[in-house]
Amino acid sequence: MGLFDKAMSLFGGSNDITGQHIQLKVCMMGPRGVGKTTILTSIFHDSDAKLNKDGLYFSAVGETALKLEEGYKKLAEIFKEIPDENATPLPGIDASKGVTEFQFKLGLKGDGAHKDKRASVGVTIKDFPGEFVNENHPEHGQVIQFIKESQVIMLAIDAVHLMEENGKYNENRNQSSYMCNKISAILKQLDSTERKLILIVPLKCEKYFMQKSMSTLTDKLCTAYKSLIEEIRTDYKDRIGLYITPIQTLGGVVFDKFGKDATGNVSIGIDNCPNDVLYRFFRAIPNRKPMYMPVYCVQPMYYLVSFALNQYKSNQNKGGVFGSIFKGIFSLFSSDLIFYQACQNFVSHIKTSGDGYVILNNPNLINSNV
């Protein structure tokens, strides 16, 4: 066994060039029904298209492929037959009732006999309903462990409930205070040297992009999540990257109005949120019919890969061997420079400003050119 193999065995990684045991992990958190499963479907289709341009591929593995294909068909069905633009779009993907796991492979496109020999890394994304991080939930321990192992935490936000009617339904819908407290508790359990990214991801933002009011949305986010933002800036300034990364979930559908009751007031459910959230079709491209055209869905992948590259370069500069949650991919970057360069090209498209994108803490962790 060579020196490299010994080092890898000590740090629990794999020296297999195909990276079968190397995993990047992403945790998606947020209340049930804010659109997490829908956006993961869009992330996959958008990321695969963008990665192909840089010599990489992003493929769904096992049951994930079937799950996402079914989800994609449901989203495409919304735009299949539009009687008129004032029609109410069909419902999208149903909210998940439990933990949903998505398995992907990120790799270098091969050719011919070498197709299966090229570098690749697994990407696991788990979607957790907010209540699963409650200490009394039976799966609490497993959830917390996965979050600790994840390089990126995505906090999904329902932008409509944050923005409409002066945000009066935000707390009940997005559970902002609850999520701030839970993430704070998780951060306190991390190793003192651990680094992570937290992406605050507003979903269903089409109306606010169209109205050019994304700065208002980010201001409201900063108010709703003020305690978490201040804590990270004070206690985790050098260890936690915190960013607002909005996504247009469908592109051709925008929020229209909340449904009213017989008295003309917004109809409120038992969760103290509107019973009916109504949308309408929107021409994202003038003179063309509304279509499924999500925007910025690939950005979370840019952030994930950029963070991995950043930690790899930082580790090299400090003379380290392997970092904790990145140990496997560090070895892959070292052993396959073509894969490393393809990843560098890929993350050159990362967005950090404009259209509601804001760096709240530590821009350095997504700088892949350290």
pLDDT at residue 87 in the model: 67
pLDDT at residue 228 in the model: 97
Distance separating alpha carbons of residues 186 and 188, to the nearest angstrom: 5
Choose among 345, 309, 347: nearest CA to 330.
309
Residue 335 pLDDT exceeds 60: yes
Mean pLDDT value across the chain: 81
Q: Which residue has the higher pLDDT, 174 or 191?
A: 174
Distance separating alpha carbons of residues 114 and 290, to the nearest angstrom: 42
Largest CA distance in the chain: 77
Distance separating alpha carbons of residues 206 and 299, to the nearest angstrom: 16
Residue 314 pLDDT exceeds 70: yes
Distance separating alpha carbons of residues 370 and 364, to the nearest angstrom: 8
Q: What is the gyration radius of the CA atoms in the chain, in angstroms? A: 21
Residue 302 pLDDT exceeds 80: yes
In percent, the amount of the chain with pLDDT more than 70 equals: 81
How far, in Å, are 116, 274, 315, 362 from residue 308 at the CA level? 23, 40, 10, 15
Choose among 27, 19, 93, 25: nearest CA to 57.
19
pLDDT at residue 318 in the model: 62
pLDDT at residue 8 in the model: 31
Choose among 34, 101, 22, 19: nearest CA to 67.
101
pLDDT at residue 118 in the model: 66
For 190, the token pair is 């991390």
How far, in Å, are 228, 229, 263 from residue 176 at the CA level? 10, 12, 30
- Tens digits of residue pLDDT in 215-260: 999 999 999 999 999 999 999 999 999 999 999 888 888 899 999 9
Q: Which residue has the higher pLDDT, 273 or 72?
A: 273
Q: What is the b/e burial string over 198-232, where b = at least 16 CB atoms within 10 angstroms of the residue's CB?
A: bbbbbbbbbbbbeeebbeebbebbeebbeebbebb
pLDDT at residue 138 in the model: 67
Distance separating alpha carbons of residues 301 and 295, to the nearest angstrom: 13
- Tens digits of residue pLDDT in 79-93: 877 766 666 776 655
Is the C-alpha dihedral spanning 34, 36, 41, 45 positive or negative? positive
Distance separating alpha carbons of residues 18 and 108, to the nearest angstrom: 10
134: confidence class by pLDDT, cuts 50, 70, 90: low
In percent, the amount of the chain with pLDDT more than 90 equals: 37
pLDDT at residue 90 in the model: 61
Residue 331 near residue 15, CB atoms below 8 Å: yes
- Tens digits of residue pLDDT in 106-132: 888 866 544 554 668 889 998 877 666
pLDDT at residue 205 in the model: 92
pLDDT at residue 85 in the model: 64
